[in-house]
Structure formats: structure tokens, C-alpha cells
Amino acid sequence: MMAIHTIPSLRTPGVLAADLGEPLHRVIYVLRTRRHIRPAARAGRLRLYDREAVALIRHELNSIDARRTRGHHDDL
């Protein structure tokens, strides 16, 4: 019986931004400021991220937006 190996789907920050529907600068900001989100692999200088990182980035972006929204309501 032959073992079946799955090839992981890894994404660059640019592809992550497109997948999340976010500007690249927001994704890069999260990646630079959240040390717990680490690349799954590197290809030369490119950092590649897996599905877990996508979920973490989405969570961080949602948290930033929620804090921003709360701040606006406090001003009213």
C-alpha cells in the first residue's frame, strides 16, 4: 500500500490579502505586529502561510475593526 501525501496549500501575504478581501498593507501590518503568526515555510525571501495562519490573520483583523468601531461609538 502506498502512502498518500497531501501537498499543503501555502499562500504569500499578497494572496492572503486577496483571499481575505483586505488591502495588502493591513495583512502585512498584522504579520509584522503579531509574532505568534509565523510562516509555515519560506521560498527564498517569500514567506508562505498555511490555513491556520489565515484564520489567525482574519481574527486579528476582525479584532482591530471591532476596537475601531467601539472607539467610534464611545465618541458619540
pLDDT digits (tens, 9 = 90+) for 22-73: 999 999 999 999 999 999 999 999 999 999 999 999 999 999 999 888 766 5
- Out of 3-7, 11-15, 23-27, 52-56, which region has the weakest mean confidence (pLDDT)? 3-7
Check residue 2 and give its pLDDT: 63
Percent helix / strand / coil, the chain, rounded to 5: 55, 10, 35
Q: Three-class SS of residue 48?
A: strand
Q: Which residues contact 59 (CB under 8 A, 6 or more apart)?
A: none
- How sure is the predictor about 1, in pLDDT bands with cuts at 50, 70 and 90? low
pTM of the shown model: 0.79
